Amino acid sequence: MTPHRVFIVGHEGTTGLRIHERLSDRKDIELLATADEDRKNVEAIKVVAKKADLVFLCLPDVASKEIMAAIGDFPCKVIDTSTAFRTTAGWAYGFPELGESYKTDIATKKHIANPGCHASGMIACIAPLVKAGLVPADYPFTITSLTGYSGGGKKMIGQYESSPKDYFLYAPRQYGLGQEHKHLPEVQHVCGLSEAPIFMPIVDDYYSGMEVTVGIHSRLCHKPVCIDKVQQTLEYFYKDSTIVTVAPFTENSNSGMLNANQLSNTDSMKIYVTGNDERIMVHAIFDNLGKGASGTAVQCMNIALGLPEDTGLVLG
């Protein structure tokens, strides 16, 4: 079998580097590259992209848009990991567990937008409940998300791993205080929400792992909702997935704790339902670098190239 030719633009960043590491030993993939001195040269990038079956763009939004303007008409498929195209018409959204239409779009469309890390957890918890009519599209969600510092990229990793380390880095830090976090538009768009949630992201002093928690007051739903119904709905929605799974209700942690780094170094996501019939919580636990970034990018690449979906993934 002839290997698929894959070109990673921006393989020096956290996500690009992870994708490169994942693909470098695969026999079914041939990695293409520009010369080091040409890694930001658009004309050089175009030359390599013309030879590729699939191109990953692991760049800031502005740079991604510049490269897409240059290669958008090329026959290669493109997976973009920035926020630039996640709500753009004509682009597939790279969360195949949301339904067969999403997986079909990833398989057939030329351009695929990789989800954001926080967004992946929010959408995984909310979308099935809105689709099932349990939670209304105008529900006033308030969401927290705890992440390891690797989600902030090379600069933040350097801050947390420096010696000596700033005193304030030893405690959790809340950010996105202006309620304009860049992942909110895709959450609202994909889930069909009439308004954006209140979102409270928190970064803490550990490398990787993420826990997104969505709270639901049953009295604010348009029809009666109980915790068992939420559990059953999520179990049914993800019943065919081996990557996103729902913990049995008997396994929930009402009497214990949930660990945000539980699935660190894997590409899985596990959903828990906790609380009671009046106040229900849905938690998504995954690795911000795995199912929250490079793991999903590789999963989408597999689907786009007609390969088994979980090839090269680490499932926990």
pLDDT of residue 1 exceeding 80, the answer is no
pLDDT for 70 equals 96
Spatial CA neighbour of 82 closest among 106, 105, 56: 56
pLDDT for 253 equals 58
Q: Percent of the chain, pLDDT > 70?
A: 99
pLDDT for 130 equals 97
Rg of the chain over all Cα atoms, to the nearest angstrom: 20
Q: Are 284 and 271 in contact (CB under 8 A)?
A: yes
- Bridge-based pairing of strands 210-217 and 142-148 is antiparallel
Between the CA of residue 126 and those of 120, 187, 230, what are the distances in Å? 10, 9, 11
Q: pLDDT tens for residues 92-114?
A: 999 999 999 999 999 999 999 99
Q: What is the pTM of this model?
A: 0.95
Residue 223 half-sphere exposure, CB side, CA atoms within 13 Å? 8
Active-site residue (options: 117, 125, 191, 300):
117
Structure-model confidence comparison of residues 34 and 253, the more confident one = 34
pLDDT of residue 205 exceeding 70, the answer is yes
Burial of 239 (0-12, 13-18, 19+ CB in 10 A): exposed
Q: Quick check: is 58 catalytic? A: no
pLDDT for 255 equals 65
Q: pLDDT tens for residues 121-170?
A: 999 999 999 999 999 999 999 999 999 999 888 899 999 999 999 999 99
pLDDT for 254 equals 59
For range 210-224, the mean pLDDT: 94
pLDDT for 13 equals 83
Where is average pLDDT lowest: 19-23, 45-49, 187-191, 248-252? 248-252
pLDDT category of residue 252 using cuts at 50, 70 and 90:
low
pLDDT for 251 equals 72
Neighbours of 50 (CB within 10 A): 12
Phi and psi for 118 in degrees, rounded to 5?
Answer: -60, -40
pLDDT for 46 equals 96
Phi and psi for 15 in degrees, rounded to 5?
Answer: -70, -45
